[in-house]
Chains A and B, each alone.
Chain A
Amino acid sequence: MDFSNKNLGVLFRIGDETIYFNQTHLSTWIVMGMLLILAVIVRLALPRFSAVPRGFQNVVEALVEVMSNFAKSTMGERFEGYGGIYFSIFSFILVSNYSGLVGLRPPTADLATTAALGLITFALIQIGGVREQRGQYLKSFFKPYPIFFPINLVGELSKPVSLAFRLFGNMLGGVIIVGLVYQMLPLALRFLLPDVLHAYFDIFAGALQAFIFTVLSMTFIRQKSVTD
């Protein structure tokens, strides 16, 4: 059984280091392509959107409205701008997690993807904290006493790490378990039995992990952006 992220070609070389084009890159670009096509379709259809939504328009409006309201309720009115960022990240994680259903290797089953997402959240936390608290933000690392600085620093750095490894571990676990089950079953049974596992590991856990990542990110940003 091979659950590794297979290399499909050479992407580029930097010095003596060769970066390979792997399954994660392929899946990521397919997911990106799908989302971008959807976005272009919505953009083109937008002038024809009616005052009373129905069908496709209803779904698009609901997605945007839900994420916008969710960002407002979780982070507050002032952080409404983060709604767009986390709408995109949530969509990317969700579609990535569901990409396993069509035989792709989920991009979120690669630490590089989840670490990138964790770093984005880490950057937003720091930007939000500095913007809202100004000079008080750095002082917050020395509270309640200066001796707590190392603990506070580790606590801060652990946020993107925990976000990245949680998502990566869950999705890779799902990939491994479903892959093992496929290998265990005879060919005739592979069409029905793994559906239950797909329903859990891809559909349920996929949506749940996307939601958890988004909620935790928003909560971290909110925590660091509130003046003590």
Chain B
Amino acid sequence: MGAAGAAAGLPDGVILSLDKSLLYNIAIQLFNVAVLTVALIFLLYKPVRKFLAERRQTIRAELEEARAIRDEALEQKEQYEKLIAGIESEREEILRQTHKRAMEKSDQMLFDARREAEVIYSRAQAELELERENLNDEMKRQIIEISHMMAGRFVQVSMDRAAQDRFIEHALSEWSGGGNDDGEGGEGEGGDGR
């Protein structure tokens, strides 16, 4: 017996004893370990694992949600890009149409101005022609008058009033009948008159 054991009337301890007391001690330790195992499993291991599983689930759900939001954002971005591309092409189409319409209008205006210019030009030509004819007539009349005055002075001495009128009428009718015969008729009449 050891000192403490002897004082309490207890037998000495052993390092290793393969006897019946070992079986009882094994049973006691089995009970102890079993109780500890069950307690640790239900107090610590399972609750912590449940917590971890729930957190894993939460994180997974949040990741899924984040992924869904990202996909949605990407989809929206794609739509916006398509929209922007559509707007761009629409803008180009509008610009093209406007340019085309402006060109058409410009051509039309040019055409109208040209046509108007032609009308004005042809009218001016006609007026000019008319003016020229008037001037020709006037010139003829003045030439006649001058000729008449010269002839009047010339014949004042050798021709009477009736002969002068006849001569003038004859000359006028000759002029109005054809330009080429004028000289010949005039010369003829003039010759006759002389």
Contact = CB atoms under 8 A, between A and B. Distances in A.
A associates with B: yes
Interface of A: 2-11, 14, 17, 19-20, 22-25, 28-29, 32, 35-36, 38-40, 42-43, 46, 49, 51, 60-61, 64-65, 67-68, 83-85, 87-89, 91-92, 107, 110-113, 115-117, 119-120, 172
B49 A64 contact: yes
Contact of B51 (A2, A46, A88, A172): A46
B176 interface: no
A43 B47 contact: yes
B178 interface: no
B30 A120 contact: yes
A164 B183 CA distance: 164
Interface residues of B, number: 42
A4 B33 contact: no
Contacts, number: 142
A139 to B, nearest CB: 30
Contacts of A7: 5, 10-13
A4 B12 contact: yes
B162 interface: no
Interface string B17-32: 0001110111111101
A89 B29 CA distance: 12
B13 A6 contact: yes
A6 B43 contact: no
Interface of B is mostly: helix
B24 to A, nearest CB: 5
A32 B11 CA distance: 26
A17 B48 contact: no
Given A32-B32, A119-B26, A83 B8 contact: no
B157 interface: no
Contacts of B49: 64, 68, 84
Contacts of B45: 64, 67, 83-84, 87-88
A42 B26 contact: no
B46 interface: yes
20 contacts: A2-B13, A4-B14, A6-B12, A7-B11, A9-B10, A17-B20, A32-B32, A35-B40, A36-B39, A39-B44, A46-B48, A46-B51, A51-B59, A64-B44, A84-B45, A84-B49, A88-B41, A88-B45, A110-B25, A120-B37
A25 B28 CA distance: 9
